[in-house]
Structure 1
């Protein structure tokens, strides 16, 4: 087995031990996976240290979350700018096949929700997509209505978390 193969095998084993620890700190599946991937870019020596030191791991996870939040903020501002040029209407939605309608709404909703609550953005977007499309369009149009619905969803998630 070459040194590269050995290093990759070690990285795989470290990743398998690291992910459960990261997911305890960041329960949102997409974020835990992304953060673990980001951490696995570090060299194996530093990764082994993170496995031994919860404090160091927490610091690196916080650093990764800050990077992700900065990326989402930049992405959200871009999407919101694009959206303000071309607001989604019921007529536009009706022109799209039903199986694509939720996807289009979700793509517009997620960045807005992530600005309000990054930690649960994926779960909350999924919860919201269970709502009728006309109500979802209203969520996209009204920041106040969206914030109220996100707060409701956070309360539900927090209740079921404990």
Structure 2
């Protein structure tokens, strides 16, 4: 009979943070596509940031939520690199979004895309803040993994406190 398994609180917190990151990336991507379709703005750099963030968060989330352990987790050092890459690309992306209106002729009235630009900048700020927190989280996990001795019977993926599942007695 199979034992029921439940993720630790750290894995749940990590999954919630990655889901928030996925949501922010989807909102940013949808807003940038909206700007591109309606006003012909090409913000490819910002789109690339949103797509890379989707890939990083999606791969980590799949490893966290897989209770069968058939999907291997990405090593913590690679997650750190992914989070750092997204953070380093998202900061200049803010300036790209703000700078995208500088080529237009000065008009007395506000541009029709001012609100969508403001949303893009706000979501990119949120993405940067969340990415910074996830980077700190990933560094802490990496330090925990480095300090843990390797078990001879462990799988090919390193032991990770956020992915370890604890046994829970069956209900009933």
Higher relative contact order (CA 8 A, sep 6+): 2
Q: TM-score, normalised by structure 2?
A: 0.32
TM-score under structure 1 length normalisation: 0.33
